[in-house]
Structure 1
């Protein structure tokens, strides 16, 4: 679908982070009427849900928050509070699957998204996965997205109706700096986002987790100042 085409519905997986906010802006810029789906999955960084609400309101997106207890599965520093979020050197980020990976998270999220879309007659799903400046999560790979696109089509009534899902990943081949530049060109207010895996009680970022470091690196390379408030002394 191109800008200027007849308006179509889409579902944006909206975490409240930098990437998903940019995806939402891209969807709107391309003429889609957005629905937004966020997940309350037992994550330690629940501040992202408040950010998602603010972003959905800004873009006039009908917003849903789906309760999902992935902390029952555990195995991730994001859902198991007994596991510390690591402070990984920037040059080591992306080497192997980190402890912040949530097992099968995007598989689960996209499956639920498919059910929501099936009921609401939506064929387009936007997700802000990235395979360049990222933490090394296996469920951000292009081949995974292609496989899920086929699976959710075959596993729903869409396959019997001659319809199919399209999973849009407009950021998958972009560096974080390129994502930020694109978002700023589209008017994204990045003060309404959260990227930190281990924010303080006020929701301010730690500046030490891999997500914070990738974000700070991206803003620096893009030539812009990150609007979020980091602890004193945090710099790349």
Structure 2
């Protein structure tokens, strides 16, 4: 019987690579995506495509409403997505308050329900936009909390492990790994905007474009410029 893993799948480069890595390690993949009230649903469309291409066991889309309180350019229509500045050291307005904390909580509930002991998340504290919920100390703390608050861990001694395999990898190293794993990056969406093509100007696009260049590959996604 294959071991099960819950993979948090946004439809972007990082989560898609994490999904393929979990598959390569012999896990039966149960992907979880979120319609959390973000301003556009392009990433959900791409999450469906990449999950189907990868042949996951199950793909669940959770609907919640983090736009009810907002606080981010990704959920608030009155906050513009800024042009990317990779030299900026401030927390950008695209940070969604406690998003990974919420997502990992859902993933833990899903994992316990289906008997999975592994959760994969594609965060990194090397190539990121300064989001505090992408750091190893946060991931470790969440894992500890999950194992203090689930019956499978407390009563049955089946602890849940959070895998963050790219924590100390650059995005270019991640892309090189993904290419070996057969990730179809044309089926991923990274842009913070929901246009017909990727904008090429937001933080996320700039990090992605720079990573593909460093990795020695051409990004298969179409850009406006």
TM-score range, shorter chain: over 0.9
Q: Unaligned regions of 5+ residues in structure 1, if any?
A: 1-5
Query: TM-score w.r.t. structure 2 length?
Result: 0.97
Q: How many residues align?
A: 223
Task: Determine whether 1:208 maps to 2:201.
Answer: yes
Q: 1:98 aligns with which of 74, 92, 95?
A: 92
Residues of 1 paired with 2:54 and 2:209: CA distance? 25
Residues of 1 paired with 2:175 and 2:40: CA distance? 21
User: Do the aligned residues in 2 keep the contact of 1:87 with 1:210 (CA within 8 Å)?
Assistant: yes
**Partner SS for 1:66:** strand
**Alignment deviations for residues 93-130 of structure 1 (CA, whole Å, 9 cap, x no partner):** xx121110000000000111111111111110000001
**Partner SS for 1:90:** coil
Task: Determine whether 1:88 maps to 2:84.
Answer: yes
**Alignment deviations for residues 133-172 of structure 1 (CA, whole Å, 9 cap, x no partner):** 1000000000000000010111110211111110001111
Residues of 2 paired with 1:31 and 1:216: CA distance? 30
- The aligned counterpart of 2:168 is 173
Residues of 2 paired with 1:148 and 1:127: CA distance? 12
**Displacement of 1:88:** 2.9
- The aligned counterpart of 1:162 is 157
**Displacement of 1:199:** 2.8
Name the Cα RMSD after superposition: 1.0
User: Do the aligned residues in 1 keep the contact of 2:41 with 2:194 (CA within 8 Å)?
Assistant: no
Residues of 2 paired with 1:198 and 1:51: CA distance? 14
**Displacement of 1:91:** 2.4
Residues of 1 paired with 2:143 and 2:4: CA distance? 17
- The aligned counterpart of 2:66 is 70
Residues of 2 paired with 1:90 and 1:150: CA distance? 32
Query: TM-score w.r.t. structure 1 length?
Result: 0.92
- The aligned counterpart of 2:110 is 116
**Displacement of 1:7:** 2.6
Q: Unaligned regions of 5+ residues in structure 2, if any?
A: none
- The aligned counterpart of 2:52 is 57
